[in-house]
Structure 1
Amino acid sequence: MKTSKAVKRNHIFSIVLITSTFLLGVDRLLDRAAWAVPFNPPSGGAPKGRGGASRGDAVCSPDPETFIQRFTALAPSDSNYGLTVSQRPTLFAYIPPTSAQKAFFTIKEENGRVHHQMMLSIASKGGILRINLPQSAPPLKLGQRYQWGIALLCKGKLRPDSPFVSSWVQRVELPTSLTGKISPSASMEQVALYGANGIWYDMLATLAELKQQQPNNSGLQSRWSELLSSVGLGAIAQETPDL
């Protein structure tokens, strides 16, 4: 009788263990699905013949070739262009290790007229630089495309051949489908909503804000890396924003 009871207990334990393992696996799958942040690129892009990144020859780095390959604006690589619903969007660029201490930022209207410009401090160790447009900068106009870029000041000077990278941004109206769904507090739901509607810069900025709030959250780092890799920025996908 004791042997029969022991077998029964073991059988019940096995069922509980298998069920628990199965449910844990389902929870992980559901959790991963909830964390998914696919980006749906919008139609259009940078003006033909005027988009893309360009780099100068005066590279202030001990490894010029690698520097030139990795110095980039954080925008989908196939279009070099992204949307925003913000009047003063947050922009990002990856700068490899460099001896430069300053960078010159400029944002221009499509006709070439300067919209705003300013100096930025950069870290010698390199990394993803977060560029916040100040309140003193004029708001971006709805429907208008702007080219923004940064040039490094090698040896403290801005030269015609200074390392330079640029991208494009366009401000659009917040889609009516998102009205009432976007709150001041960053969340993964907002990241997903921006991504589904092709709003690149706000999606990236919101995810970066979450990473700042939860620096030890490995899940957020995975989502960040996956997002960058999905738009052709896999070479810098493991880099973390300098906030």
Structure 2
Amino acid sequence: MNSNSQPIKLFLVVVFSCTSLVVSLTPVLAKPTLGSSRSDVYGGLRLRSHSKTTLAQATTFNQPTLPPGPPPGGRVRGGAKRGGCPLIKPDLTALVPFTEEDNSVINVWAQTTVEHPSWFFYVPYTKDSLYAVEFVLQEYPNSKDSKEIYRKAIALPDKPGVIRVSLPTTTPALAVDKQYRWFFTISCDKEKNSPPTFVEGVIQRVELNPATVKELQTTEPLKRYAVYAQKGIWYEALTTLAELRQKNPQDAALQAEWRNLLGSIRLNDIATKPLLLETPSSPQLKVLKAE
């Protein structure tokens, strides 16, 4: 063999070995790292089976058009006035979509699919203030003969934040395609010489098509949230996301999605406020801070 062939042979062996190494490593690099899991993208969210959520793109809430008939009106901000509740910014706020018409009329209206939904409110006052707070649900349209469905005194929290008010299962179920008006009122004047601060709106229960219902029954909570948001079902979208945050209080992606959802209905100032939820085993409030 020629003496020059030895370096050539050595070079070919090195090249072949490097090529084999790259080929053998390729499938390893393509696999997810240890501890990760399969993910799907739905509605802009990258969904994972473990507790950490990766956000690909924020989910869009598709607000449905108002139903035919008289506009529901409503009030999404409390509007505390001198002589009544003290002015604190942000004011009492209902976490619900609203529209503003050309004539400056505000309509506070959203949909639910459940018989006993939950409402969320940001309250700037605490239990030390001793203010009287009440939630009322009644049939809509309003009239002198409007039937009251539910009335409940609400305890103010230890600190300002977002609280949840749920319609108990002991009350009559909301009927499909029927609208109801709700009120959340804070009376700061013990003598009741000054008007209370309040928010109000209209809720309507609707039915989803069977295919969507089946999908919701067989999918994980984060994907359910995305489905509800895309279908314009505000109350279940908000409740599902709030419960996810309760279970995963340190999940930055869920915090970001919460800010995105509230920002989509122009409540950016509320999106960073603490979320106060009752723990399943205790009446104490669990505080979730939005980073």
User: TM-score, normalising length from structure 2?
Assistant: 0.66
Task: Give the direction of change, closer, same or farther, for the CA distance of 1:123–1:65 in structure 2 (3 Å limit).
Answer: closer
CA contact (8 A) 1:100 1:124 kept: no
User: What is the one-letter code of the residue matched to 1:108?
Assistant: Q
Gaps of 5+ in 1: none
Q: Distance in 1 between matches of 2:243 and 2:178?
A: 26
CA contact (8 A) 1:73 1:94 kept: yes
> 3-state DSSP class of the match of 1:136?
coil
Q: Select the residue among 75, 78, 83 that pairs with 2:111.
A: 83
* Alignment size in residue pairs: 229
Bigger relative contact order, structure 1 or 2 (CA pairs below 8 A, ≥6 apart): 1
CA contact (8 A) 1:77 1:233 kept: no
CA contact (8 A) 1:101 1:124 kept: no
Q: Percent identity?
A: 28
RMSD: 3.5
> 3-state DSSP class of the match of 2:258?
helix
Q: Match of 1:41?
A: 63
Q: Distance in 2 between matches of 1:133 and 1:165?
A: 17
> 3-state DSSP class of the match of 2:120?
strand
Alpha-carbon shift at residue 90 of structure 1 (Å): 0.7
Task: Give the direction of change, closer, same or farther, for the CA distance of 1:186–1:160 in structure 2 (3 Å limit).
Answer: farther
Alpha-carbon shift at residue 109 of structure 1 (Å): 1.1
Q: Which has the larger radius of gyration?
A: 2
User: What is the one-letter code of the residue matched to 2:159?
Assistant: K
Alpha-carbon shift at residue 119 of structure 1 (Å): 0.6
User: TM-score, normalising length from structure 1?
Assistant: 0.78
Aligned runs of 1:28-177 on 2, under 5 Å?
Answer: 33-34=45-46, 35=55, 36-44=58-66, 47-48=70-71, 50-53=73-76, 55=79, 57=81, 58-61=83-86, 64=87, 66-67=89-90, 70-78=91-99, 79-98=107-126, 99-112=129-142, 113=146, 114-154=148-188, 161-177=195-211
Higher helix proportion, which one? 1
Alpha-carbon shift at residue 101 of structure 1 (Å): 4.8
Gaps of 5+ in 2: 1-6, 8-13, 47-54, 100-106, 278-291
Alpha-carbon shift at residue 97 of structure 1 (Å): 3.4
Alpha-carbon shift at residue 176 of structure 1 (Å): 2.6
Task: Give the direction of change, closer, same or farther, for the CA distance of 1:160–1:104 in structure 2 (3 Å limit).
Answer: farther
Q: Distance in 1 between matches of 2:138 and 2:119?
A: 14
